[in-house]
């Protein structure tokens, strides 16, 4: 009778540990991961970035819990860290909603609307905005407080004339009476502008307690910002 040892050897091989993936396949996976990370970094740095709204300063245009995409490409490609414009495209215009580095705390990003650009003369009289001595058509401004505060108390409602320096912006929140903006802390350097608010992709109402589905502001999703 012949021995069955060759068959036993075959069974042992069949039930042994699986062969390791060829080095070339592992290398391909690593390369794909690295490329994906690099693409994500480039997109976030130069093209588009997501932000969340934490305050009421832009109500009703932007609500607390809104998540928006910011177009970082539109105002030119900047050199990282140095923030100098490498490839200019266009500058922020009056009425643009911009995200920028807060001048008083550079660890924070703020979002406001551009009211004045370099060379503009800005003045506020009893809540009314004047640009270059002409009334500004304030299509987006909302006022929740009827009280008019005199200039010697604070600059919210009465703001002495100033001229915006070249390369800077004068910005305000749409919620005029509840916004800390250029009236209080000055101008925004164009170098510190991160981009233009573009699209609402998500909105979450944390104040809604009864209905989980109502926490999502469905009607705001996909809204283009103006």
> SS in 3 state form for 17-59?
CCCCCCHHHHHHHHHHHHHHHHHHHHHHHHHEEEEECCCCCCC
Which of 112, 179, 182, 196 is catalytic? The answer is 112
**Which residue is it, tokens 């109402």?**
205
Which of 2, 24, 25, 57 is catalytic? The answer is 57
Domain regions of the chain by residue span: 22-220
CATH fourth-level superfamily of 22-220: Umud Fragment, subunit A (2.10.109.10)
pTM of the model: 0.82
Residue 112 annotated in active site: yes
Instruction: Calculate mean pLDDT across residues 17-45.
Output: 71
pLDDT at residue 47 above 90?
A: no
Residue range 93-145, pLDDT digits in tens: 999 999 999 999 999 999 999 999 999 999 999 999 999 999 999 999 999 99
Residue 57 annotated in active site: yes
Residue range 140-166, pLDDT digits in tens: 999 999 999 999 999 999 999 999 999
Q: Give whichever of 16-20, 24-28, 218-222 has the largest mean pLDDT.
A: 218-222
For residue 157, give the DSSP letter: S
Query: What integer pLDDT is reported at residue 43 of this predicted model?
Result: 63
């Amino acid at each position: 009778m012949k021995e069955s040892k060759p068959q036993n050897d075959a069974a042992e091989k069949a039930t042994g540990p699986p062969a390791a993936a060829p080095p070339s396949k592992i290398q391909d996976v690593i390369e794909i991961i690295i490329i994906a990370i690099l693409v994500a970094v480039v997109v976030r740095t130069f093209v588009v970035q997501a932000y969340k709204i934490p305050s009421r300063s832009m109500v009703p245009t932007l609500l607390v819990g809104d998540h928006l995409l910011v177009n970082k490409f539109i105002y030119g490609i900047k050199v990282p860290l140095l923030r100098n414009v490498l490839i200019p495209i266009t500058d922020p215009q009056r009425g643009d909603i911009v995200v920028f580095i807060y001048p008083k705390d550079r660890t924070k990003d703020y979002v406001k609307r551009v009211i004045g650009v370099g060379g503009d003369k800005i003045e506020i009289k009893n809540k009314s905005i004047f640009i270059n001595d002409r009334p500004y058509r304030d299509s987006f401004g909302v006022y929740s407080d009827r009280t008019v505060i005199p200039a010697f108390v604070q600059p919210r409602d009465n703001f002495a004339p100033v001229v915006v320096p070249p390369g800077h912006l004068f910005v305000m929140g749409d919620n005029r009476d509840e916004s800390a903006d250029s009236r209080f802390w000055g101008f925004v350097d164009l170098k510190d502008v991160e981009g233009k608010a573009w699209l609402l992709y998500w909105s979450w109402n944390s104040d809604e307690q009864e209905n989980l589905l109502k926490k999502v502001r469905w009607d705001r999703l996909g809204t283009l910002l103006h």
